[in-house]
Structures are given as C-alpha cells and as structure tokens.
Amino acid sequence: MSLKISPAVKDENNPKPPPGPTPIPPPPHALLRWDQVPEDFVECFILSGYRRLHLSAQQCLASAFQPTNETLNFWTHFVPLLVFVGRFGRLLLLQGAGLPPFHPALLPLWCYASGVLLTLSMSCAAHLFSCLSLRLRAAFFYLDYASISYYGFASTVAYAHYLLPRLRLLDAGVLTPYAEGWLGWCSEEVSRWLELYHACVLPVAFVLALGCTAACCLSRAQGCSYPFAVRTFVFIMPLSMACPVMGESLLFDLRRSNPTLFLYFHRRYLWLLVAAFFNVSKIPERLRPGRFDIVGHSHQLFHLLTALSIYDQAHYVEQGLQQYLQQQGPEATVPPQPTLTGTLGFMGLLLLCLGALVRRCLQGTRIACKHE
C-alpha cells in the first residue's frame, strides 16, 4: 500500500521555492495602451499615449512636457489663456478701454472676461490633472462643462449690453412696419414684445446654462450611447442667444452697417461649425486609429478652433464696447446702464448654482473601478 503525502505537509528536504518577484508598476512617465487603463480613460480610436492612473499633482504637471495624448489638449488652451489674460488685462486693468477698471460700463466686459478665462483654465486643469483619481477626473470634467456654460452666459451678458441694443432687428421703430405687414401688430405691441424679449434674455440664458451643464454631466454616465454628440449639441445650445445678430445679417445689410461685426461674427460660427464636425466625427483618428494618438487628433483640432472662435468673438465684443461708449445724442437708442446686480451679481449666482449642480452630479456618480 502506497502512502499519499498531503501537500499541506512541509517537506524539509525539498523546501517550497520562494515566490517570484512582485510585479513592479510602470514608472510615472511610462505611457500605456488603451487596454491598460480604466475604461473611463479610453478615447475613441486613441490606442496609445495614455498616462497611468493615480499620478501625483507634480507628476501631472511634469506630463505637460512629455508626449502623451493629453499634452496638446493642455497646450492648445493654455497658450490662448495667456493671450486672453494679456488682452483683458490691457482693457480692464491698464485702462485700454479708456475707463477706470470698475466703471459701470465695463461690468459686462468683466463678466465676459471671467467666462473666457474660467473656461480655458478649467479645460487646462481637466486635461492635465485627470490622472489623479477616477473621482477627481469626473469632478474636473464636470467643472469643465460647468465653466463652458458659465462662459456662454457671460457672453450673453456682454451681448445684452454691447450688441443687442444697437441691432435694427430689435429697434421698435424699424421693426414696426414689418410687424404691421406680417402680423398686423401696432407699434405699442411691437414695443411690448421687444421689452419682454430684453427682460427674458438673461433669465433664459441662466436656465439654459444650468440645463446644459446637467446634460453634459449625465453624458458621462454609463449607458450614454453618443456622449460626444450630446455634448456638442449641448455646447451649441447657448449660441442660440446670438440669433438676433444672425437675423440682423439676413434681414438688414449688416455687412455695410457694421463690417467688423459681420466679419468676425460669421467667421466665429464657421470655426464653431468645423469644431463641432471634428468633435463628433472623430476624424482623423477614426480613419487611421493609432496614427494621431499624440499629435493631430480631433480633440486638439476642436481646442484650436474653439480658441479661434473666442478670439474672433472678443473682437466684436470689444468693438461693441467702443460703440457703447461713443453712443451720444437723444436720437440714439441708449441701452440701460449696466448694474452690479444685473452683471456680476448674476454671474455670482450662476457660480453658486453650477457648484451645487456639480456636487449633486458627483454624489450620484458611480464609478466602477477596482483601483479606487
């Protein structure tokens, strides 16, 4: 009869070989492939160039000078951020607009500047520090979406004071003959509707900013089939507040009456249209996956085109400010003087609401990842 020795009995003559070496995690600067990172990190058709999860803040900063698939996402908004800091610093702090920094006429420009600088800053932070942890990654991108909505509302504040009051489309005296012929309205009815429109512009833009932020945050949730299409559509929604300028171009000779506004306004929307195309189509990386992982993928092109659109917008906002300051005479349609409550007060209230919304979305976000 043979004796069966239990594997649990230790054999002194043949000791168990020591365990193999513990796998060493890749160094912080090592780049990973798409199948080596959490699912939330993976971008469509980007196969390589990913940073590893749980980098420190210093390592994230250092990655801005390394060839990763996020490097140019950072620089394509950081360089424009520096450009706009200089531009708004000259206008607001160095009296480039010809007024002391906190003159009431400059309050809408302060709002607009805060929107531009905040959205570029949050974009840089989201792309640079998205490797700290999955929860912080979600937080940074939620804040990025909120900053875009904040910028859209800030643009509406600038439009409401610098551009819209001088449009013929919103002038009761000019619009009344058309309204009488098409709708049978008298001048008093036209004036009432225009007053209602001016009163509703900012509240509607405020609600739209909150709704767009909520939709973008939900697009990151699991189960969203077309997140990039949803976000692109949502980003376009606040642009509807500029419809009166588009109507001015169609109904009146804006090219002759205000060539600067005509050129920069339409060129801005051309940049945005092309940017939306790249963001949704994922071209060129869709055509050759892996070829554009580090340089040339669609999100970098999206960043460049959106920066160009803001640059063109700043031109006609600044020109609108100059026209606002030059407006004199009893026959001119003088817009109401900007107030602290109606400008910076509105912006502060929006910041509080967006912060509460982002916090609520973070609390409801469930991130399934073993590494957290």
Instruction: List pLDDT tens digits, range 294-312.
Output: 999 999 999 999 999 999 9
**Burial (0-12, 13-18, 19+ Cβ within 10 Å), 209:** buried
| Cis status, amide bond into 284, omega within 30 of 0 | yes
- The residue with greater pLDDT, 60 or 25, is 60
Residue 251: inside a domain: yes
- For 241-259, what is the mean pLDDT? 84
Report if residue 230 sits inside a domain. yes
86's tokens: 């200089």
In a domain, residue 317? The reply is yes
**How many domains is the chain partitioned into structurally?**
1
At residue 81, what are phi and psi to the nearest 5 degrees?
Answer: -60, -45
- 118 falls within a domain: yes
The string of DSSP letters for 276-313 reads HHHHHH-TTTTTSTTTTSSSS-HHHHHHHHHHHHHHHH
**30 in a structural domain:** no
| pLDDT confidence of residue 193 | 82
Instruction: Examine the pLDDT at 231 and tell me if it is beyond 60.
Output: yes
Tokens of 272: 């945005």
* Nearest by Cα to 312 from 154, 164, 126, 155: 155
So what's the pLDDT on residue 1?
Answer: 42
Q: What pLDDT sits at residue 62?
A: 95
pLDDT in tens, 50-105: 999 999 999 999 999 999 999 999 999 999 999 999 999 999 998 888 889 889 99
Domain extent at residue 133 = 55-327+350-363
One-letter amino acid at 192 equals: R
Is residue 337 in some structural domain? no
What angle do helix axes 71-88 and 107-128 make, rounded to 10 degrees? 160
Cβ(69)–Cβ(293) below 8 Å: yes
Joined tokens for residue 335: 């817009």
> Does the residue 8 lie in any domain?
no
Q: Give the residue among 262, 121, 151, 273 at the shortest CA–CA distance from 212.
A: 151
Position 50 in a domain: no
**Run of H or E residues at 118:** helix 107-128
Query: CA of 342: how far to CAs of 9, 194, 304, 339, 372, in Å?
Result: 82, 18, 32, 5, 44
Give the model's pLDDT for residue 124. Answer: 97
Q: Which residue has the higher pLDDT, 166 or 129?
A: 129
Query: Is 301 in contact with 71 (CB distance < 8 Å)?
Result: no
The tokens describing 334, both together, are 């003088």
